[in-house]
Amino acid sequence: MKNILFLLGAGFNKDARSEAGKIIGRHLYKGEYVINVDYPLVKDIRKICFGEEKLDSGQSVEEKISKAILGGDYKPIKRLYEEIMRADFYLVPKLLSSSNKPLSCYAKFFAKFQSSSFLTFNYDSLVEVFLLRSNRWHPSDGYGVPVITEIEWGERQESVKARSKSFVLHLHGSLCIYSVEFDLTNKEGSNMKWIVQKHSPDFVFDPDSISDLFIPYERVPPVIGGYTYIENRVIAPVPDKAEGLKGRFFKEVHSKAKLLLENAEILVSIVFSFNLLDKSSYEHLIQYFSEFGNRKVIIIAPDASDLVKRLEKLYQPIEWMPIGKTFKHWVDSKFLGIDI
């Protein structure tokens, strides 16, 4: 099989809810009830963040989020991130392979492409959990940077030392990773603790409320002055993401992404919109990929033909191939367009 690298957009998660089936909760007094949960798409963000069906005329949801952040109000994006982690918690376990039900399209996908790595603009952990269960990925190195991890007491330490066979590079950040840029240290002749900036930041694994999905890994205990809440761990969905991309984590991850692109023969984009607002995040990667010549990009999306018409004019000499399907329909077509 050719060396295939995947680029995932928000639409990759669109089929998760229907594939997972009904999610049933149980209440001590009320009995069973249906839990309504899903991975949010762009059209859902305004309702989740602001409780509005429609925004003010002429104002995009990205602009409204940016305005809230500039005003010091992080509650809207915190609601969004908590909804994403909630979807991970309830949906991913139902999507994993089971002997009691047919394989989900996600289980089929990860079973087919066992040597591939993934670039993603999503914040969720669906991909990592699947790969961890098959021993292909570990948080200590699987994010593309060295990450400090903690393992459950009694587990064999070999688990921590395991090396990832596949990488999951979160180009806009992961809700499970944060940077520690300062340290507490003693100075000679002083009994006080001093805050000192590290020469290079540490990256810390903290899956927060979805820790159970990463067994035997668990949360790294936070240190004084070094903890970052989930609302500050990723590049928020704002109009201009260029400033956020200057952070050390994002620079290192994008550098690792270039190495993966250099070795890839085919890049498969799964329902990524190539939004102009995200141009600063992806354009340098696509241009880098084009420099090697004879490279192919397969676009899987319902509007794939329109995307290819726009992109092939901008990025040459890449060969572009549109596949006008959702992720699930593409899996059901036995991965149309890929010679396997």
Per-residue pLDDT at 227: 87
Confidence at 30, pLDDT banded by 50, 70, 90: confident
In this structure, is residue 243 part of a structural domain?
yes
Residue 224 within any structural domain of the chain: no
Q: Domain of residue 36: give its range.
A: 4-179+201-218+229-332
**194 located within any domain:** no
**In a domain? residue 129:** yes
What is the number of domains present in the chain? 1
185 in a domain, yes or no? no
Asked whether the predicted pLDDT for residue 229 surpasses 60, the reply is yes
Q: What integer pLDDT is reported at residue 297 of this predicted model?
A: 97
31 pLDDT exceeds 60? Answer: yes
Residue 187 located in a structural domain: no
Using the predicted structure, report yes or no on whether residue 117 has a pLDDT greater than 90: yes
The tokens of 49 are what?
């963040």
Q: Is the dihedral of CA 220, 133, 326, 21 positive or negative?
A: negative
The verdict on residue 337 lying in a domain is no
**DSSP strands (E only) in the chain:** 4-8, 24-27, 31-34, 117-120, 150-151, 168-170, 177-186, 193-205, 217-218, 266-270, 296-300, 319-323
Residue 200 has pLDDT above 60, yes or no: yes
197 pLDDT higher than 70: no
Which pLDDT does position 220 carry in this prediction? Answer: 93
Dist CA 3 CA 60 (whole Å): 39
Per residue in 140-194, pLDDT (tens digit) is: 999 999 999 999 866 555 555 679 999 999 999 999 999 987 776 766 666 666 6
Residue 114 lies in a domain: yes
**Exposure of 317 by Cβ count < 10 A (0-12 exposed, 13-18 middle, 19+ buried)?**
exposed
Q: Are 6 and 92 in contact (CB under 8 A)?
A: no
Task: Tell me how far apart the 2 most distant CA atoms of the chain are, in Å.
Answer: 70
Write down the mean pLDDT value for the chain.
Answer: 90
Q: What is the pTM of this model?
A: 0.92
Quick check: 223 and 229 in contact, CB under 8 A?
A: no
Alpha-carbon distance of 188 to 198, in angstroms, equals: 18
pLDDT of residue 328: 97
